[in-house]
């Protein structure tokens, strides 16, 4: 029994010695004092944002016909003006052939009319041909000249329509959806493929109660790829680029611009931390806090140790929920 009491006494004595040494270490460590004042803290909430393209472009057929060639698939990268598909209308080839035949016929008629004019001019010079008949021959030649020009213009129109069978990408980006296959029949204006422009944004859909805290130019924190909560070290900054003026089923929609979205899939979700309110609180540097017996302490300038209730990390340090007052001078090692 005496041995147990002696052991207990030694344990208490060693514990008191350790506490004294800790207090001496804290008091002897070089430190600066800061005056504590309440400051505004922005509360943030983690919400899901969806990766969306700024613009969705539709590559459409300009003529009706049959798709004879398709050079893209879902996920393909295309540049502006790249050929996506070729639509052929077999009637255009027949129309071009008909236009060529008409041009050749007019050319033959024009050659005969020119010969008749030259003959009439010679006869008129010899006095055996009337001026009226010469004028008629020259007018007929001019009419055929105009007819030939008109026929050639009509042929160019048909050739241009045939060239418009090439479906071109209206802009650079990634192909999200191909709506036809080779051999399909399409109409003028029908969509062939949907292209997502290269610029991506994060689209937020928030409850109506958060609308008053959201404005263009606000800063948000964007998590890494995925939907898992990570530490503040892995967050990057983003900026609210646009808040849509119309709510969708009681929710406000906003777009956030940030870097590093090039490799994301359209529709992929990631975490974004947005502001949901502001309040006044005390914030102390993390180095000013030390723990003992499971409690958090800070050391005041006058040497008083104060038990505090530490909160979550915020910008500038650790939030203190209770134990300090405005104007306290806290020592920071």
Report the Cα 5 to chain-centroid distance in Å: 74
Choose between 255 and 34: higher pLDDT: 255
DSSP letters, 67-121, are EEEE---TT-EE-TT-EEEEEE-HHHHHHHHHHHHHHHHHHHHHHHHHHHHHHHH
More confident of the two residues 8 and 56 = 56
pLDDT in tens, 57-98: 999 999 999 999 999 999 889 999 999 999 999 888 889 999
Q: Residue 188's pLDDT is what? A: 92
List Cα–Cα distances, 328 to 39, 306, 308, in angstroms: 14, 11, 13
Average pLDDT score over residue span 51-57: 89
Q: Label the pairing between strands 166-168 and 83-88.
A: antiparallel
Three-class SS state of 242: strand
Q: Would you say residue 301 has pLDDT above 60?
A: yes
What's the distance, CA 269 to chain centroid? 13
- pLDDT tens across 163-211, in order? 889 999 998 888 999 999 999 999 999 999 999 987 889 999 988 888 8
More confident residue, 304 or 86: 86
In angstroms, the CA 191 to CA 189 distance is 6
In our burial notation (b when 16+ CB lie closer than 10 A, e otherwise), range 145-160 reads eebbeebbebbeebee
Q: What is the pLDDT of residue 24?
A: 41
Question: What angle in degrees, to the nearest 10, is found between the helix axes of 131-163 and 90-126?
Answer: 160
Evaluate if residue 269 carries a pLDDT over 80: yes
Per DSSP, the three-state class of 212 is helix
Instruction: Say whether pLDDT at 242 is over 60.
Output: yes
Phi then psi for residue 213, to 5 deg, are -95, 0
Q: Which residue ranges make up each domain of the chain?
A: 44-54+199-278, 60-86+166-197, 90-163
* Confidence band, pLDDT 50/70/90 cuts, at residue 43: confident
Specify the higher pLDDT residue, 254 or 321: 254
| CATH T-level topology, domain 44-54+199-278 | Elongation Factor Tu (Ef-tu); domain 3 (2.40.30)
Per-residue tokens: 163: 């060239």
Average pLDDT over residues 206-221: 85
Confidence of residue 306 (pLDDT cuts 50, 70, 90): confident
Is the pLDDT at 139 greater than 80, yes or no? yes
Average pLDDT value for residue range 253-258: 92
- Topology of domain 60-86+166-197, per CATH? OB fold (Dihydrolipoamide Acetyltransferase, E2P) (2.40.50)
């Amino acid at each position: 029994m005496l041995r147990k009491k002696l052991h207990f006494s030694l344990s208490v004595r060693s514990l008191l010695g350790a506490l004294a040494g800790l207090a001496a270490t804290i008091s002897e460590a070089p430190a600066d004092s800061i005056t504590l004042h309440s400051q505004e803290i922005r509360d943030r909430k983690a919400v899901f944002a969806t990766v969306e393209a700024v613009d969705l472009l539709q590559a459409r057929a300009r003529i009706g016909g049959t798709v004879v060639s398709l050079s893209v698939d879902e996920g393909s990268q295309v540049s502006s003006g790249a050929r996506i598909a070729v639509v052929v209308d077999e009637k255009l080839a027949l129309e071009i052939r008909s236009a060529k035949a008409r041009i050749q016929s007019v050319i033959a008629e024009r050659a005969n009319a020119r010969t008749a004019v030259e003959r009439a001019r010679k006869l008129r010079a010899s006095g055996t041909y009337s001026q009226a008949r010469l004028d008629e021959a020259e007018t007929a030649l001019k009419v055929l000249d105009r007819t030939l020009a008109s026929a050639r213009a009509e042929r160019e129109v048909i050739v241009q329509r045939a060239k418009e069978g090439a479906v071109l990408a209206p802009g650079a980006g990634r192909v999200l959806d191909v709506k036809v296959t080779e051999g399909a029949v399409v109409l003028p204006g029908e969509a062939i493929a949907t292209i997502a422009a290269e610029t991506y944004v994060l689209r937020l859909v928030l409850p109506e109660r958060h609308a008053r805290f959201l404005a263009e130019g606000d800063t948000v924190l964007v998590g890494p790829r995925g939907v898992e909560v990570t530490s503040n070290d892995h967050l990057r900054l983003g900026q609210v680029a646009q808040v849509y003026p119309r709510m969708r089923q009681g929710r406000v929609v906003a777009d956030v611009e940030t870097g590093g979205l090039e490799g994301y899939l359209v529709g992929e979700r990631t975490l974004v931390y947005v502001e949901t309110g502001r309040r006044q609180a005390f914030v102390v540097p993390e180095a000013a806090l030390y723990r003992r017996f499971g409690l958090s302490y800070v050391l005041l300038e006058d040497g008083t140790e104060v038990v505090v209730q530490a909160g979550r990390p915020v910008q500038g340090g650790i939030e203190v929920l209770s134990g300090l007052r405005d104007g306290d001078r806290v020592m920071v090692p």
